[in-house]
Amino acid sequence: MTEQTRPLDVVILAAGQGTRMKSSLPKVLHPVAGRPMVAWAVKTARDLGARNVVVVTGHGAEQVEAALGEADVIFARQAQQLGTGHAFIQGLDALSDHQADVLVLYGDTPLLRADTLTALLSDHRARGGAFTVLTGEVPDATGYGRIIRDAQGNVERIVEQKDATPQERDVREFNSGVYLMDARARELSARITNDNASGEYYLTDLLGLYRAEGAEVHAFKLTDPSEVMGANDRTGLAEAEGIIRARLTQEHMRAGVTIHLPETVYIEDTVQLGRDVTLEPGVILRGQTRVAEGATIGAYSVITDSTLHEGVTVKPHSVLEGAEVGAGSDVGPFARLRPGTVLAGGVHIGNFVETKNARLAQGVKAGHLAYLGDVEIGEETNVGAGTIVANFDGVNKHRSTVGAGVFIGSNSTLIAPRVVGDAAFIAAGSAVHEDVPEGAMAVARGKQRTLEGWSKRYWGGLRGKVQEKLPWLAGWLDRQG
Ligand code: UD1
Ligand code: CA
């Protein structure tokens, strides 16, 4: 096999506790930009084309394994946290063959880019490296293992904070904990001991063990050391999220999306945006959301798992979840499209309209204040202000069907299950409790009574109060004689 085609296995260390989160959730399951930290590591491994991905679990193992259950990874349990070297060996033990290069990642460094690791891989391979450690340089590397180089500048060993001499602690080059190594890893890692200040098995010792074999050992220095910044507490999580958020908005802008006040916009990396999409301030896009070319999302709208076709306009403060919006439709402001909403093209949904399990055909208009649940509405139908589809009888939900070209007068209630035929006309204020056939007109409301002269008698009886509180009406009463 040539260097380039050698397979890559990735071992992700994720058994540690992370007490600083102060949480009942295992540290590596805390989400950053919509994805648990450990899932970022798995995604990065996949982006690198890894053959096997092993996740070493320990603290909260069941939860971590359940969260990654569908990610096609191999789990290795580390029953006791005896150190990174021990964790690594558990990971290797879970692999059925050991012919691959092995990359070690941590489950709590979501900022590490696949591009950086690709550069590490090509540097390692170009140099014919046996073991390469990813390092960074910072003014003060307190807490990290330090990279100790010999007089020629070659990497000699890694010394942990606890074991370091004062001079060694002055070293600014630190160990990120990411290593790439050849297939000797299995044999050499078995020689790691716990003879150090912590009494732990240090994975860092592996570097020295490769050196002792006369193997090619190198360091690859990060351009941006913050990429390996682990999120240890909630502040770290928020910082990491801010960085990932900024990266994603920048990528979208470079790809042709206009984002006003990008620092206020939150887009998960599962979201796809077409060219000439415009995002106004405060927009939140989550999950499997797809927005096609030329759509505009108004300020403070939150869109989750939804598909928006070409040229859709979502006006401010709208909330969409599990909805599909057809080309050229407009939604909002203050609209709520719930799961199962499918709008065809050119549909108009105005303010304070809620839809759920609703299919609205081409050109349907529901401009104001409506609830459309469990209903199918035919093309060109006009849904008047205040229309309610009463889909729930207290126990069960029922479906209704409204035909094409129907006019539903304002403030009508369709008591489900109901069928309204094409071109029917429903008078305003109707409580429709019987089906309406095609072309029919239905009025279902109390008959109007009009009592002439009633106001004069009523207010006249209250004249004292009217004079005190309603001067215009008092004048009107006076004029009535
Ligand atoms: C480790 C490195 C240190 C490096 C630093 C970078 C060692 C001995 N030291 O230190 O040189 O600068 O990372 O962040 O490796 N883990 C397990 N099982 C264990 C212990 C740890 O799975 O028994 C996992 C943790 O969940 C974590 C990772 O390994 O993801 C690193 O563990 P941590 O305790 O943070 O290592 P450090 O002491 O910080
Ligand atoms: Ca650490």
Q: Strand locations in 378-412, DSSP E?
A: 382-383, 388-390, 400-402, 407-408
Q: Would you place residue 70 in the very low, low, confident or very high pLDDT band (cuts 50, 70, 90)?
A: confident
Rounded CA-CA distance 418/442 in Å is 13
**Rounded alpha-carbon distances, angstroms, from residue 395 to 149, 209, 339:** 73, 69, 20
Please tell me the distance between residue 264's alpha carbon and the centre of ligand 2 in angstroms. 30
59 counts as catalytic: no
Residues belonging to the chain: 481
Decide if 426 contacts 408 (C-beta within 8 A): yes
Q: Which residue has the tokens 């960074």?
A: 136
Would the pLDDT of 63 be above 80?
A: yes
Looking at 252, 368, 398, 433, which residue is catalytic?
Answer: 368
Residues 140-185 pLDDT 10s? 999 999 999 999 999 999 999 999 999 999 999 999 999 999 999 9
Residues 417-460 pLDDT 10s? 999 999 999 999 999 999 999 999 999 999 999 999 999 999 99
Q: Which residue has the tokens 């002439």?
A: 452
3-state SS of the chain: helix, strand, coil percent to 5?
A: 25, 30, 45
CA-57 nearest atom, ligand 1: 22
Q: Would you place residue 2 in the very low, low, confident or very high pLDDT band (cuts 50, 70, 90)?
A: very low
How distant is the alpha carbon of residue 361 from its chain centre? 30
Choose one of 30, 84, 209 to mutate for the ligand 1 pocket test, by most ligand atoms within 8 angstroms of C-beta.
Answer: 84
Helix (H) or strand (E) holding 355: strand 348-360
Overall average pLDDT of the 288-317 stretch: 98
Q: Would you place residue 69 in the very low, low, confident or very high pLDDT band (cuts 50, 70, 90)?
A: confident
Decide if 35 contacts 269 (C-beta within 8 A): yes
Alpha helices in 158-314 (DSSP H): 166-169, 185-189, 205-212, 234-254
Any residues with Cβ below 6 Å from ligand 1, and which? Answer: 13-16, 56, 58, 78, 81-84, 86-87, 106-108, 144-145, 158, 160, 174-177, 202-204, 230
**Mean pLDDT, all residues of the chain:** 96
Residue nearest to atom 39 of ligand 1 (CA): 144
Q: What is the pLDDT of residue 443?
A: 98
Q: What is the pLDDT of residue 6?
A: 85
Residue 411's CB is within 10 A of a number of other CB atoms, namely 17
Rounded CA-CA distance 240/227 in Å is 9
CA-203 nearest atom, ligand 1: 15
CA-158 nearest atom, ligand 1: 11
Q: Which residue has the tokens 């591009």?
A: 115
Q: pLDDT above 90 covers what percent of the chain?
A: 95
